[in-house]
Structures are given as C-alpha cells and as structure tokens.
A and B are shown apart, each in its own frame.
Chain A
Amino acid sequence: MSATAAPVGAVRARPADALASWLRRNSWMLGLVVLLAALLVFTKFIQPRYGVTGVQGLAISVLPLALAAVAQAIVVMSGGIDLSIGSIMALVNVVGAVLMANQSEQFGVVAVLACLVLGLVLGAINGSLIVFTRVPDIVVTLAMSFVWAGCALLVIATPGGGSAKWLMELVSGSFGSEWVPKAAVALILVVAVVWLPVRRTRFGLSLYAIGSNRLAAFRSGVAVGRTRILAYMLMGFFAALAGLSVTASTGIGTPVPGPYTLMSVAAVVLGGVSLAGGRGGVFGPIVAVVILQIIRTDMTFLSIDSNLATVFQGVILIGVVMIGSLIQIRRGRA
C-alpha cells in the first residue's frame, strides 16, 4: 500500500527529501542493479571473450525462470505461495509440444492460446482449492505440484513432441542490434503488456491490499476470495508462458518438472518481495534471476563443479532469506 501513498508525500516534500525517500524505498532494487553490474564486470574480467553470444545465451536461459519468478512474485505479493509452478510449467510444456508436433505453423497459434488458457485454468483450480477448502496454500500447492506433474507424465511419458518454428524464432536470435536478444525483448514485452496494466487496476490494488493485511482489506470491502483466485490465475498465466518458453527454447516437451519452483522462490526473496506479502514488484525478481544465472555462468568460467554451484545457490537462498528476516526482526523491535 505504501506504493500508492508515497507519491503524495513526495510532492509535498523538498526535492532532496524526495530523492532520499525514493532511494530508501528502492534501496533493495538499486542494490540488486549494482550487484548485477558488478557481476557483469567481474564476468568480463574473468572471461574477456564474454560478449554477444554470452548475452544471448544468458537471455535464453533466463527466460523460463524469469517468467516463473514473475508468476511466483504475483502470488507472494498477494500473501500466498505456489509450490506447483514447476509442475504447471512441465504440464504446459508437454501439452504445447504434443499439440504442436507435426502441425502447421498456423495451428501453433491455436496451440499457444490453448496453453495460455490451460495455465489460467490450472491457476484457477489451485486458487479455488485454497479459497474454498481453507487448507493452507502451502499444503494445497505442494499436493497439486504432484497432481500436475503426474498429469504431465500422463500426457507424454518420455521427452518428445515438437514446437512451431515461429515460436522458437520468437526467443532465439537478436532484435535490431545484436546486443538485444529477442528473449529479453519478449520478456519485457510480456511483463509490460500484462502486468503493468493489471497493477493499475482495482484488482492490482486489491492484490497488494490482501497481501499486506487480509482482514483490513476485507473490512475495506475487498473481495478477498475472488482476488486470491485471480492472483493464482495470473500466476497460472505466467507459469504457462514460462512453460511455453521452455518448449520454444528446447523444441520439445519434457514431462519432468525442472528446479523452477524452488528457484522462483529464491528469486522472489532475493528480488525484495516480502514472503509475508503486500510488498515488492516483479522487476526485482527478474533482476534476481539474471543475477543467479550469471553467478552460475561465472562458476562455470571459474571451472567450479556444477554441484558446488547448486550448493552455492542454496546458500545464497538461505542467506538472503535469513538477512531479510533479520532486518524484519530488527524493524519489529525498533
């Protein structure tokens, strides 16, 4: 809610104060950007040949996880969590691949639209189960992660299927300058077209409201249940996009969920979205995903074992969450 209150204060305050408060409010995000820049410089330093191909590879490998992080961020801001994002992605991935296998390019459009609708439906099922059964969201989505992963295995037992060519070309290669990978353009475009308008709507405001204080939101007339279900539907939509981006970048469907659920939680936390809900945006998590991926790339350049890289990612996740909650505890005492 502070997002809407702050501009009013900023107008009244002197410019210096406004700048200071803007810095304070966005300090986490600025820190992330600085960290990202430092990592890029470091990467260039340890691998002088890191350039156009590196950036393009980075964009393609980041795309599915970035979309998953956006999906997770939306639910977390509404005060929930979804542990089935990886499974939803796997299900959409295989459904898309099976639909598009040996079909015309035009049918690919229908298949993609069908996949997006599927994502909305899966999200709606998750959200409705949480709202109507009143079972904690963690339990429901953990259980549903197995349901969706099982469904993916029922659709196709072994990796297979295909992808429409235009979908694959949508994320590979560059756009205009060779320094602008298409995958990055696609990501920014999707977020700008879907999330930014949604945030400005009544629903977007309600989303933050139920995340920051559900009871207060209810008493101010927010339809809490409906907003939660809509949040999960939006999550399903972005998870479906993430699943489709896997289809697009690999060209096939793989019925086994990747590590996306866990990494999306890590990215959301690292991206400055409070797990308690009501705070943050989707750009922090996207920057966090890029940072996590660059760290992985750097560890490859430094020829560190990829398993140790996994350990390191876990340590980062735990460390960030610990520091985050430590700050919250301090704030609570002050």
Chain B
Amino acid sequence: MSGIATTGPSRNRWLTAAAWRSLFRDRPMIPLLALLLVLVIVSDIVRPGVVGTEWVGIMLRAAVPLAILAACQTLTMLTGGIDLSVGAVASMAGFVVISLVLSIGLPAAIVVALICALIAGLVNGIGVGVFKVHPLIMTLGMSLVVLGAANFWQIQTVQTSSGVPPAIRTLGSDVFAEVLPYSLIVFIPLAIVILVGLRRTGYGRLLYAVGDNPVAARLSGARSWQVLVVLYIISALLAAIAGFLYAGYTNVASVSLVDSAVLPSVAAAVIGGTSIMGGRGGFGGTIVGVLILTVISSLLTSLGYPEAVRQVLFGAIIVAVAAAYTRVTDQT
C-alpha cells in the first residue's frame, strides 16, 4: 500500500476507502445484506405491494435448492476447486427417483439415487485428490459421463416412468403458513451442519487449510487427498438432495433439469465472498448471495425481460463482483 503518498489533505478519504476495504474484506455480510435490502425495496417500487409474506415464501422456495447447489460450490471452492458436475448429478438423482419410485418405493429410490451420486462424487474425488486432475476438467468430464448415463437410463425406462411422487412434490413446491416452504425442513439442518462444520470441526478447518496453502497443509500432516475425496462425495450427495428438491419444485422429470442452475450456483458462492482460489469464504455469505440472485431473477422476470437478458446480467454480475473482491482483498 502506498499509504505514505496519500497523507495530507486526502488522508481522510484514504481512511474511509480503507474502512470500506476492510468492511468488504472482513465483514462481507454487511454490504451483501444491504444490497439484498436495496433489491427488495426496488422490487416493491417496481410492483408496489408485491413484497409480502407470499412473496417471501416464493423467494425462499426458489432459493433453497439453489442454496444447496451453491453449498457444493462453496465447499469445493474453499479448497481451490469447483464442481461443475452438480447440474448433471442433481438432474440424474431427481430422474432416478422418479423413474424408480413405482417399482421399488420412495425410500429405496432415494437410496439408489444417493448411491449413484456417491459413485460420481467418489470418482471426482479420486481424480482431483489422487490423480491431481484440475477439478474443472474432472467435474466437466464427469458431467458428460453422468448425463450420458442418465440419458441411457431414460431410454431404458421410458415406458415405466411416472410423475413426480407427491411427497417429493410437497417437499419441493408447497409452502406452509404462507411463508415457509417445506424444503426448509431439509435445508435448515443441512445449513446448520455446513455452517457449524466449517467453523468448528477439524474437517472444516482442513478444507480452509488445503485451499489456503496446500504445501503448508501437507507439511503439517493433512492428507489432502483424503480431504478432497470426502469433499467431492459430500458435494455430489448435496447435489443429489438439491436434485430431489428441483424435481419437486418444477414437477418435471428431466435429465437436464438442473443444468441451468450450475452457473447461478457458482455466481452465488462468488457473490457471497468465497474465493475460487481457495481458503477464503463461507456458507453464510453464499446464502445471502443466493437470495440476491433469486430476487434479481424475479425482478427481471417481473420487468418482462427474457431469459437471455438474465443470462447476460448474471454473467456480468459474476465478473463485476469477483473483480471487486479481487480488488479489495489484494494486499499488494
């Protein structure tokens, strides 16, 4: 920092800039929540009276599955990775449950779907952790494999597939007491486990350690390959759970259902202050990031913009926010 050069008249301005920097760096939640509040107010101005309990319910219902996918990105990004296979894995899990529910029942179908996801996650983890393949390539390749396999399965079961089972539909799309979607039953425990797990458990701290400085982590005895294998399994299981909720939310069985949510999930984690280079961030910011994206998305829809504009804007937001974070956290 060229702090000496900016003393004198501009000292005051430098102080506030530094204060802003440290605010963004140390407490990213405060500006994020402020942004969320602004967006909610704008929503209310655009369509007066729309913001109410029902609106909150709709927002939460849309945000919950995305937040679970964003958890996958947050956890993998903490280690300097990324999981782009979540879309394929989630779609596959939702589809497997729907295609099997008539023949073997809901619990067994869910177990089968989770096992499929676990296998995908295990292979991802072995590729990234043991073979040191770049996570991006590994998970992109895995998404090809999972998508192809799911498509193949779809052709095999095209006659027997039924609608989305009612239990899943209720979980994904119904709201009780007008405000709280049933999906919170799944999400709140998961969120607590992730939040507490990252802060308080050894495994959580290992994720930060591996991402922040892999060499230091190895020298202090962390077996990073084990950490990574477990991490990608967790990520795939979370994606599968998100897939169940998406299937219930949209009431659709499709092997490419969740594909369009992959970029928003990365965007949410980036906006929430998790660095893709690893070692910095957390799930709290990601949840706020998801809420911000959900509100922006509904705002654009209510303004009548097509899906294309939303895509452009999401992409631009990611670059802008990532650039802002890079700027404030760069010490050099």
Contacts and interface: CB of A to CB of B under 8 A. Distances in A.
A203 interface: no
A26 B330 CA distance: 42
B312 A135 contact: no
Interface in A130-167: 133-136, 138-140, 142-147, 149-154, 157
Contact of A325 (B133, B277, B315): B133
A129 B319 contact: yes
Contacts of B322: 133, 135, 139-140, 143
B134 A143 contact: no
A265 interface: yes
Interface string B208-219: 000000000000
B311 A139 contact: no
B34 interface: no
B309 interface: yes
Interface of B is mostly: helix
Contacts of B327: 133
B116 to A, nearest CB: 13
Given A135-B326, A307-B155, A262 B144 contact: yes
Contacts of B82: 138
B277 A136 contact: yes
Contacts, number: 143
A144 to B, nearest CB: 6
Contacts of A157: 306, 308
A265 B148 CA distance: 18
A139 B270 contact: yes
Contact of A317 (B131, B137, B149, B270): B137
Contact of B309 (A136, A142, A154, A275): A154
Nearest to B330: A134
B147 A310 contact: yes
Contact of A142 (B147, B266, B326): B266
Interface residue SS majority, chain A: helix
Nearest to A263: B144
Contacts of A265: 137, 140
A275 B149 CA distance: 27
Interface in A307-327: 307-315, 317-318, 321-322, 325-326
A153 B312 CA distance: 10
Contacts of B310: 150
Given A266-B141, A318-B141, A153 B319 contact: no
Interface in B301-332: 306-316, 318-319, 322-323, 326-327, 330
Contact of A310 (B151, B312, B314): B151
A321 B326 CA distance: 30
B318 A139 contact: yes
Interface of B: 82, 123, 127, 131-134, 136-138, 140-145, 147-149, 151-152, 155, 263, 266-267, 270, 276-277, 306-316, 318-319, 322-323, 326-327, 330
